[in-house]
């Protein structure tokens, strides 16, 4: 039997399953026009139809195979396993009776299909930007007999409008995870303004999934409920403070369920998982929290420890609420008492600021030997003695008048003209620097460590004064330590820090945030 092999196959099969009566968006119609003369095997269409009727998602599965994980990740298109969806719908059924169900990033419709079967009379609204995914969504709804009470909106959720409805709305889905680097300035400004409507200061470093929570609050009314699954990074990072504040107030946080990465919540994406349940405007006195070891133990999201909101609201990091830190054993201290740990500088455009062919005549003083990839540290072993193999990062002073050699200044201005032509002055990071050209590398750290790999971090003594960008962390003593003590510290960290000390993501990738490195326990007597 033939298989679905291309996006054209997906378009043609979706069109065959939808029929000709459905009103499509302009972008969807354009896709159909391209395959108007394509003949699709009738047996393949029948097979796809049968699988959809049996509760499968062959269109979504094919889409996930045709588009690479990297391409889908840039668009936030990570499709959710049915077991997670069923648990979220079970929770909704136990707490609400919605007249309408809204999936703000519907994809092929997995959430809408499951919720539509559970809530037999509810209207279904799927909002999806990708016209191909929207066609798959329409096809799935048609085959499952849900199209008559469904509306598909091909638009950005942040600007899509919903009609008024009597009764309760359920907002449910997997908001797209797109990092701030791929979000335009206009949308970042929108996010800041939208969050300010609710008295919350929002970081423009927030990912798209956080934008979707804010938009939901704009569209919802008191008593509406929701359940979103996202990456769990927002629990602890600074940009997540806006969402934490909203859950503690208007958004009405009810439950927070963290999926243990070993449960592999997403088979094709290295990410954590957090399910946030909320009841808009009706926050209970406690937040139900738990860590879920396996997908089978999700149940209907009814289990968990009841944490008073006054405790939760005062916590800067919410992961500690779910997984409280163990007491420091006698004879040990946290590394953070001895050293500060800082992630390397973000350049705002490595293709420009990591020196290439356009630095002719530039002063050596602004070309800094820098750790620019984890392999620089992994290849170094225990000690980095020679910086000659490292790439250079262009680190100009904010005041260019500090460059007093006319020829060197001329070369710098020539480089800046080239950099500007390549948009180096337009990145979010560049626009928030004192001067867009001043990267501002941190001073050399005596110990530099990797922080994301499928292995324990590499702690490397930096004896050649190398700088580092944000692919590594620098370990800086709070007070001066002699070389022998630093050597012992590096050796102890290499010997004793294991993968288990960090945050393990699905797929085996382990990440150590700066604060997690600072919480590593070290024997006090050896270093103080």
CA-to-CA distance for 512 and 343, rounded, in angstroms? 10
For residue 475, which phi and psi values (nearest 5 degrees)? -105, 115
For residue 314, which phi and psi values (nearest 5 degrees)? -85, -5
pLDDT at 323 over 80: no
Q: Identify the bridge partners of residue 332 per DSSP, sorted by sequence position.
A: 523
Q: What is the pLDDT confidence band of residue 296, given thresholds at 50, 70 and 90? A: confident
Residue 245 token pair:
């504040």
For residue 505, the model assigns a pLDDT of 44
Whether 131 and 113 share a structural domain: yes
pLDDT at 365 over 70: yes
Residue 281 resides in a domain:
yes
Q: What is the DSSP letter of 19?
A: -
Residue 406 resides in a domain:
yes
CA-to-CA distance for 247 and 375, rounded, in angstroms? 40
Contact 507, 263 (CB under 8 A): no
Residue 19 resides in a domain:
no
List the CATH number of the domain containing 131.
3.40.50.150
Q: Among candidates 188, 204, 189, 312, which has minimal Cα distance to 249?
A: 312
Percent of the chain whose predicted confidence (pLDDT) is above 90: 64
pLDDT at 488 over 50: yes
Whether 265 and 396 share a structural domain: no
* Segment 232-243, tens digit of pLDDT: 888 888 889 999
Whether 144 and 229 share a structural domain: yes
The stretch 338-347 carries a mean pLDDT of: 93
CB-based burial of residue 525 (10 Å sphere; 0-12 exposed, 13-18 middle, 19+ buried)?
Answer: exposed
Which residue range(s) make up the domain with 232?
Answer: 77-322
pLDDT at 77 over 80: no
Count of domains for the chain: 2
Q: Do you know the residue count of the chain?
A: 528
Strand, coil or helix: 484: helix
Cα-atom radius of gyration of the chain, to the nearest Å? 26
Q: Is the pTM of this model over 0.85?
A: no
pLDDT at 456 over 50: yes
Contact 62, 48 (CB under 8 A): no
End position of a domain, from candidates 298, 322, 346? 322
Q: Where is average pLDDT lowest: 177-186, 188-197, 251-260?
A: 177-186
CA-to-CA distance for 122 and 101, rounded, in angstroms? 7
For residue 321, the model assigns a pLDDT of 85
CB-based burial of residue 203 (10 Å sphere; 0-12 exposed, 13-18 middle, 19+ buried)?
Answer: middle
pLDDT at 524 over 80: yes
End position of a domain, from candidates 275, 291, 322? 322
Q: Identify the bridge partners of residue 450 per DSSP, sorted by sequence position.
A: 472
Percent of the chain whose predicted confidence (pLDDT) is above 70: 93
End position of a domain, from candidates 288, 322, 356? 322
CA-to-CA distance for 209 and 73, rounded, in angstroms? 13
Residue 485 token pair:
């003590």
Q: Where is average pLDDT lowest: 40-54, 114-128, 193-207, 447-461?
A: 447-461
The stretch 504-518 carries a mean pLDDT of: 66
Contacts of 405 (CB under 8 A, 6+ apart): 363
Whether 309 and 374 share a structural domain: no
CA-to-CA distance for 265 and 289, rounded, in angstroms? 18
* Segment 405-427, tens digit of pLDDT: 899 999 999 999 999 999 999 88
Whether 266 and 367 share a structural domain: no
Residue 308 token pair:
């008073």
Q: What is the pLDDT confidence band of residue 182, given thresholds at 50, 70 and 90? A: confident
Whether 223 and 348 share a structural domain: no
Whether 233 and 251 share a structural domain: yes
Whether 293 and 346 share a structural domain: no
Whether 144 and 214 share a structural domain: yes
Residue bearing the bigger pLDDT, 20 or 121: 121
Q: What is the pLDDT confidence band of residue 272, given thresholds at 50, 70 and 90? A: low
Whether 167 and 260 share a structural domain: yes
CA-to-CA distance for 225 and 89, rounded, in angstroms? 11
Q: Among candidates 290, 274, 169, which has minimal Cα distance to 230?
A: 274
The stretch 187-207 carries a mean pLDDT of: 93
pLDDT at 155 over 50: yes
pLDDT at 263 over 70: no
Q: Among candidates 304, 343, 346, which has minimal Cα distance to 323?
A: 304
Residue 293: how many other CB atoms lie within 10 Å: 12
Whether 362 and 281 share a structural domain: no
For residue 278, which phi and psi values (nearest 5 degrees)? -145, 160
HEC per residue, 310-331:
HHHHCCCCCHHHHCCCCCCCCC
For residue 407, which phi and psi values (nearest 5 degrees)? -70, -40
CA-to-CA distance for 345 and 330, rounded, in angstroms? 36
The stretch 153-160 carries a mean pLDDT of: 96
Residue bearing the bigger pLDDT, 401 or 513: 401
Whether 432 and 401 share a structural domain: yes
For residue 502, the model assigns a pLDDT of 52
pLDDT at 273 over 50: yes
Q: Where is average pLDDT lowest: 219-223, 334-338, 430-434?
A: 430-434
For residue 461, which phi and psi values (nearest 5 degrees)? -70, 130
Q: Where is average pLDDT lowest: 221-230, 287-296, 473-482?
A: 287-296
pLDDT at 501 over 60: no
List the CATH number of the domain containing 491.
3.90.220.20
For residue 328, the model assigns a pLDDT of 76
For residue 506, the model assigns a pLDDT of 41
The stretch 265-281 carries a mean pLDDT of: 76
Mean pLDDT over the full length of the chain: 89
CA-to-CA distance for 11 and 13, rounded, in angstroms? 6
CA-to-CA distance for 499 and 508, rounded, in angstroms? 10
């Amino acid at each position: 039997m033939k298989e679905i092999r291309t996006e054209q196959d997906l378009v043609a099969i979706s069109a065959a399953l939808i029929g000709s009566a459905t009103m499509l968006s302009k972008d969807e119609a354009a896709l159909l026009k391209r395959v108007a003369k394509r003949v699709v095997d009738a047996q393949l269409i029948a097979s796809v139809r049968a699988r959809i009727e049996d509760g499968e998602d062959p269109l979504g599965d094919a889409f996930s195979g045709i588009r690479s994980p990297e391409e889908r990740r840039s668009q936030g298109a990570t499709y959710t396993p049915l077991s997670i969806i069923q648990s979220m719908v079970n929770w909704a059924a136990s707490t609400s009776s919605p007249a309408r169900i809204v999936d703000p990033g519907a994809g092929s419709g997995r959430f809408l299909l499951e919720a539509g079967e559970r809530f037999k009379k509810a209207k279904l609204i799927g909002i999806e930007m990708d016209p191909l995914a929207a066609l798959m969504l329409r096809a799935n709804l048609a085959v499952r007999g849900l199209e008559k009470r469904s509306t598909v909106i091909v638009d950005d959720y942040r600007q899509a409008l919903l009609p008024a409805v009597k009764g309760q709305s359920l907002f449910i889905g997997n908001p797209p995870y797109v990092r701030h680097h791929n979000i335009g300035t206009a949308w970042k400004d929108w996010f800041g303004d939208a969050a300010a409507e609710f008295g919350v200061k929002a970081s423009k470093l927030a990912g798209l999934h956080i934008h979707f929570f804010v938009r939901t609050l704009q569209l919802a009314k008191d008593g509406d409920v929701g359940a979103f699954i996202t990456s769990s990074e927002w629990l602890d990072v600074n940009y997540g403070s806006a969402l934490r504040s909203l859950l503690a107030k208007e958004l009405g946080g009810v439950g927070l369920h963290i999926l243990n990465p070993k449960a592999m919540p997403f088979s094709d994406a290295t990410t954590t998982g957090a399910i946030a349940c909320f009841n808009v405007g009706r926050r209970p006195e406690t937040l139900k929290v738990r860590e879920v070891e396996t997908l089978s133990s999700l149940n209907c999201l009814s289990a968990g420890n009841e944490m008073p909101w006054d405790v939760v609201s005062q916590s800067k990091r919410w992961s500690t609420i779910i997984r409280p830190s163990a007491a420091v054993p006698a004879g040990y201290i946290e590394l953070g008492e001895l050293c500060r740990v800082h992630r390397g500088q973000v350049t705002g455009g490595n293709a420009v600021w990591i020196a290439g062919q356009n630095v002719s005549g530039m002063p050596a003083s602004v070309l800094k030997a820098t750790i620019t990839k984890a392999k620089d540290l992994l290849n170094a072993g225990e000690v980095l003695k020679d910086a000659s193999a490292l790439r250079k990062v262009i680190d100009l002073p904010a005041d260019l008048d500090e460059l007093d050699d006319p020829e060197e200044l001329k070369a710098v201005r020539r480089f800046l003209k080239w950099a500007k032509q390549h948009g180096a002055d337009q990145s979010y990071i560049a626009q928030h620097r004192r001067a867009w050209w001043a990267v501002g590398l941190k001073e050399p750290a005596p110990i530099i460590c990797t922080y994301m790999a499928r292995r324990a971090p590499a702690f490397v003594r930096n004896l050649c004064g190398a700088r580092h960008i944000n692919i590594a962390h620098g370990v800086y003593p709070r007070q001066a330590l002699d070389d022998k003590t630093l050597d012992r510290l590096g050796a102890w960290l290499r010997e004793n820090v294991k993968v288990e000390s960090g945050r393990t993501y699905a797929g085996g990738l382990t990440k150590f945030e700066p604060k997690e490195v600072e919480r590593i326990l070290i024997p006090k007597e050896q270093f103080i």
